[in-house]
Chain A
Amino acid sequence: MAAAEDMLTGLPRLGLGLGLRSTHFETILSGDPQDVWFEAISENFMDSGGRPRAVIRAVAERYRLVLHGVSLSIGSTDPLDFGYLAALKRLAAEVRPAWVSDHLCWTGVNARNSHDLLPMPLTEESLAHVAGRVRQVQDYLERPLILENPSSYVRFAQSTIDEPDFLRALAEETGCGLLLDVNNVYVTCFNAGVDPLAYLDAVPCERVVQMHLAGHQDMGSHLIDTHDRPVRPEVWELFRLAWARTGGASTLLEWDDHIPDFDACLAELRKAERYMAGESTPLVPEGRGAGGEGVSNPVGFIVPRAMDSVLEDAA
């Protein structure tokens, strides 16, 4: 634990960053370097022998990079997948990320994968289980693991610990760092009918290495974490508070569905500078949204459009 803890304190403050998405590859690599860092979805690149692997190598040569996973399944009761961890470690050795992160969640069980970030029962049993696995992962990767609070739509009846307290205990027991997704805080708290400011008060901000910003969809009765639109004012306000309390944690905008062009994403990210400077937006109650089929944690962007890379030849 001490080793992870020591490494955590040495992690850099990267400023503002964007999720690395395939629709932006060409712009990122062909234009002038921007004052930005990138977060790459580990699973997009770790098994790749094709263009994605070449792209991430090229991006890593020009920009600071972190690796963000969606399939570690740290909370699952299935055995840890050391094949997955080996591929992740190889990728990390290749692109030298500032850190490696994933989610406080499980993605599957019984050797099956839901490809979703499923919520944990927050109990002492879960805490011991996850802490043991975090230690194993940190030992294997030889670096601290950074874990993100997921968005959630249910609370397990057996839960006995609030999520911020669970994260605090986990971090203290293992030396892991935290990725505070302020949009997830807002979505989870809204859906649970609890105060997001109370969540923020309880979360151990000194452990927060990185923050996430994203858009969500208002379904009227509840919110869906769609990552498909601009950040809501209420989330910006949470971000303003969290940024100050974390002492300026590295901050990243996620945009995973209906992804606009690179400049539009960059413009949305740059709005953060106003809140970092202390500008406050009054909390506005959520209005009823347009409805439609919002999907939480969209992953379609992870699957490349192979058809765009195919040519036809006459024999």
Chain B
Amino acid sequence: MTDLAAAQRLMHEALIFPDADPASAQALFAGDGRLGAAGGLAVYQRGYFLRIAACMREQFPALCHALGRALFDDFVADYIRDCPPERHTLYDLGRRFAGWMEANRPDGAAREPWVDFMIDLARFEYAVFAMFDAEGNEGRPFATADTPDSALRLQPAFALGSYGFPVADYYHAVRRGEEPPLPMPAPSHVALVRTDYIIRTIPLSGTHHAFLAEMLAGHGVEASLGTVAARFGLELESARGSWREAQGSRGRWIEWGFFVGANP
């Protein structure tokens, strides 16, 4: 290893694990500045955490609200120690956060509901954040009421989520500046869709979620209706009816920009 590589490795380790070997890290630096070796290194160590914590609070504002800033920052400190940032983009910081929380539950095997809620909320917020900057369909045509079912495809800025808590309701309450209580467990299914760079969160029933999941997997409308009807014990004609009727899903979802029209 070159001297340069060794110095970089040691300094970077000192940012992630500031207490591991402070003497070796400080020995990298001359002591002739105003801060000295330890004081100068401490500026970088402190900045490393504060800078990333600020970005994580931007990615997880509702989770930060739910935990309180001090506890949220404690989670972030442990998270970036275990999962130091890997990619050049700050947008990637929170990608592993929900998984890390699950693997490092503060309740251990006892599995308290509030921890489950925090993990679900982290999953939801990262999905929203990813949707903000995902490839979308802006500037291109969407499906219309005249687009045949056989040509309907979900647009690129579309995602589904299933949770054990009403996370979207909690998120929107925080967004409105309210102080929502932590919710009780209740299954929820949510669609995220972006049009004109605005993300909409749309609560879904179990059957609607299953249908859209089929379409997200690449199946067409008719095949997806058939799969869902079979899974939920519905008559296929009844499923087709609720899809196509005047107040049915088809019209609303086309209006909300779920679909594009595929070339025949």
Contacts and interface: CB of A to CB of B under 8 A. Distances in A.
B partners with A: yes
Interface of A: 43, 47-52, 54, 71, 73, 76-77, 81, 84, 106-116, 118, 121, 123, 125-126, 129, 153-159, 190-193, 221-222, 224, 293, 295-300, 302-307, 309-315
Contacts of B204: 315
Q: A73, A76, A106, A115 — which one has the most chain B CB atoms within 10 A of its CB?
A: A115
Contact of A115 (B59, B85, B156): B85
A309 B199 contact: yes
B4 interface: yes
Contact of A315 (B128, B139, B203): B203
Interface string B194-237: 10011111111100100000000000000000000000000000
B194 A50 contact: yes
Given A153-B33, A191-B33, A300-B54, A309 B197 contact: yes
Interface string B70-91: 0000000000000011111111
Contacts of B55: 115, 299-300, 302-303
A284 to B, nearest CB: 18
Contacts of B46: 295
Listed from nearest, the 4 A-B pairs whose CB atoms lie closest are: A154-B40, A49-B135, A71-B88, A300-B54
Interface string B1-21: 011110111011001100000
Contacts of A311: 198-201
Interface string B239-261: 00000000000000000100000
B91 A47 contact: yes
A190 B197 contact: no
B168 interface: yes
Given A52-B133, A153-B35, A222-B34, A77 B2 contact: yes
Contacts of A154: 28-30, 33, 35, 37, 40-41, 43-44
Interface of B is mostly: helix
A106 B175 CA distance: 37
A81 B88 contact: yes
B40 A310 contact: no
Given A47-B133, A77-B8, A307 B175 contact: yes
B51 interface: yes
B61 to A, nearest CB: 5
B102 interface: no
B197 A43 contact: no
B134 interface: yes
A283 to B, nearest CB: 18
Given A47-B91, A50-B134, A113 B85 contact: yes
Interface string B22-44: 00000111101111010111011
Nearest to A126: B4
Nearest to B8: A109
20 contacts: A49-B135, A50-B157, A52-B133, A76-B8, A84-B88, A107-B88, A114-B48, A116-B51, A118-B12, A125-B3, A154-B33, A154-B41, A156-B30, A224-B43, A295-B51, A300-B57, A306-B59, A310-B199, A310-B200, A314-B203
Given A43-B89, A299-B90, A315-B205, A49 B133 contact: yes
B50 interface: yes
